[in-house]
């Protein structure tokens, strides 16, 4: 893969998952069947394949949320479309009580770290910022938002490398703390239109054509049409890192790094946001094996979000259709899965 030569980060190999091995049927001694587990069956089977064992180990989950704003959101008609300030959203999430779940009647904290890689504003005078900095809040700011991809490449090569490395390092930190189940989340101003710009580049389609299927979105259609035309100034490329640098932002690159590192380390990756899903597709262009470790958090509200190619029928952690900056539904599902694993362990 010669396109890697101009980038200065290290990407390791990813192991193949075992083929055609039904861990649940072979190792649960028939106590559970496909019909009794329902939509949880393919999820548990994928988790068992990734971990290479059944019963599955106790969950040690963690949530990593990457946040950055996209310069394209500063386009006059897009900037006042009702999106909340990303840094305020971070502080709002951090101000909420910690979430705990139970494992064999023991109370366990669900870790949630938020990495600010480049919001438009950073309020360091806010006490919540300093209260959570270094634990819940990770200050990994590269710039105050990416460049406007309608005019320039969104990131320089150096910025893309730096953001990619942040994602890798944060996953390594989670692995060091014995995390074996990682939820990847993101938000930021302009993420919606960046999702479609990345998808258009990956699929050789028009941004406007993709956007028009999602009429509920807040941006003015004329502005989207103007941006779609402006994107023609960028050369057509099939190099995943070039596409990422042209149209992504810092959180997109960090998600790519996190996905490849998580797959390398052999842990399940739950993709909770549209940008996490498109980042996985980009990561899959770098190493297709990475997609084997990806599980979709839920069905998306963007129609094209549900058409992304994840190497066959997608597996969902939550069958509901939700879209929040904070993965609220996934928290309750963690308890559901943990209760089921506890029961499976007792019966196997």
Q: Which residues touch 148 (CB under 8 Å, ≥6 apart)?
A: 71, 72, 74, 75, 154
Q: pLDDT (tens digit, 0 to 9) for every residue of the chain, 348 residues total?
A: 333 444 455 677 898 887 655 555 555 455 566 666 777 788 888 888 898 877 777 888 999 999 999 999 887 455 555 567 888 888 888 888 888 888 877 888 888 899 999 999 876 555 444 455 556 889 899 999 999 998 899 999 999 999 999 999 999 999 999 999 999 999 999 998 899 999 999 988 888 888 777 655 556 667 778 888 878 888 888 899 999 999 999 999 999 999 999 999 999 999 999 999 999 999 999 999 999 999 998 877 777 888 888 887 788 887 665 555 556 567 777 887 888 777 766 665
Residues 249 and 148: their CA atoms lie apart, in Å, by 10
pTM: 0.89
Residues 184 and 259: their CA atoms lie apart, in Å, by 8
SS3 for the chain is: CHHHHHCCCCCCCCCCCCCCCCHHHHHCCCCCCHHHHCCHHHHHHHHHHHHCCCCCCCCCEEEEEEEECCHHHHCHHHHCCCCCCHHHHHHHHHCCCCEEEEECCEEEEEEEEEEEEECCCCCCCCHHHHHHECCCEEECCCCCCCCCCCCCCCCCHHHHHHHHHHHHHHHHHHHHCCCCEEEEEEECCCHHHHHHHHHHHHHCCCHHHHHCCCCCCCCCHHHHHHHHHHHHHCCCCCCHHHHHHHHCCHHHHHHHHHHHHHHHHCCCEEECCHHHHHHHHHHHHHCHHHHHHEEECCECCCHHHHHCCCCCCCCECCCCECCCCCCHHHHHHHHHHHHHHHHHHHHC
CATH for 60-91+109-118+137-347 is 3.40.50.10210
Domain ranges across the chain: 60-91+109-118+137-347
Q: What is the pLDDT of residue 106?
A: 83
Q: Residue 73 half-sphere exposure, CB side, CA atoms within 13 Å?
A: 27
Going by DSSP bridges, is the β-strand pair 106-118/61-68 parallel, antiparallel, or unpaired? parallel
Tokens representing 346 are 């007792």
Q: At what angle do helices 191-203 and 274-286 cross, to 10 degrees?
A: 30
SS3 for 192-212 is: HHHHHHHHHHHHCCCHHHHHC
Q: What is the pLDDT of residue 279?
A: 97
Backbone angles phi, psi at 194, to 5 degrees: -65, -35
Give the angle 251-64-321 at the CA atoms, nearest 5°: 90
């Amino acid at each position: 893969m010669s396109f890697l030569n101009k980038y200065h980060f290290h990407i390791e190999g990813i192991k193949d998952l075992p083929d055609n091995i039904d861990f649940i049927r072979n190792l649960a001694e028939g106590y559970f069947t496909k019909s009794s587990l329902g939509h949880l069956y393919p999820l548990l089977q994928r988790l068992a394949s990734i971990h290479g064992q059944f019963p599955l180990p106790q969950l040690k989950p963690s949530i990593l949320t990457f946040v950055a704003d996209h310069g394209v959101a500063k386009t006059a008609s897009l900037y006042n479309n009702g999106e909340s300030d990303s840094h305020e959203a971070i502080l709002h999430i951090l101000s909420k009580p910690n979430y705990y779940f139970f494992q064999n009647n023991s109370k366990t904290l669900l870790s949630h770290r938020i990495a600010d890689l480049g919001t438009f504003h950073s309020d360091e005078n806010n006490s919540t910022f300093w209260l959570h900095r270094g634990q819940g809040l990770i200050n990994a700011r590269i710039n105050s938002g990416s460049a406007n991809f309608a005019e320039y490449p969104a990131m320089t090569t150096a910025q893309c490398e730096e953001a990619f490395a942040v994602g890798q390092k944060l996953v390594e930190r989670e692995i060091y703390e014995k995390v074996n189940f990682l939820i990847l989340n993101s938000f930021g101003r302009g993420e919606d239109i960046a999702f479609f710009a990345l998808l258009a580049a990956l699929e050789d389609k028009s941004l406007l054509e993709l956007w028009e299927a999602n009429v509920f979105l807040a941006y003015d259609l004329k502005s989207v049409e103007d941006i779609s035309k402006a994107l023609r100034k960028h050369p057509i490329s099939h190099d995943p890192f070039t596409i990422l640098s042209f149209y992504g932002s810092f959180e997109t690159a960090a998600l790519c790094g996190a996905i490849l590192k998580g797959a390398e380390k052999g842990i399940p990756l739950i993709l909770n946001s549209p940008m996490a899903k498109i980042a996985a597709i980009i990561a899959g262009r770098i190493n297709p094996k990475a997609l084997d470790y990806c599980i979709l958090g839920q069905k998306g509200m963007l129609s094209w979000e549900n058409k992304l190619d994840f190497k066959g029928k997608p597996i969902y952690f939550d069958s509901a259709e939700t879209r929040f900056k904070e993965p609220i539904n996934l928290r309750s599902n963690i308890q559901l899965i943990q209760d089921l694993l506890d029961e499976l362990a007792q019966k196997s």
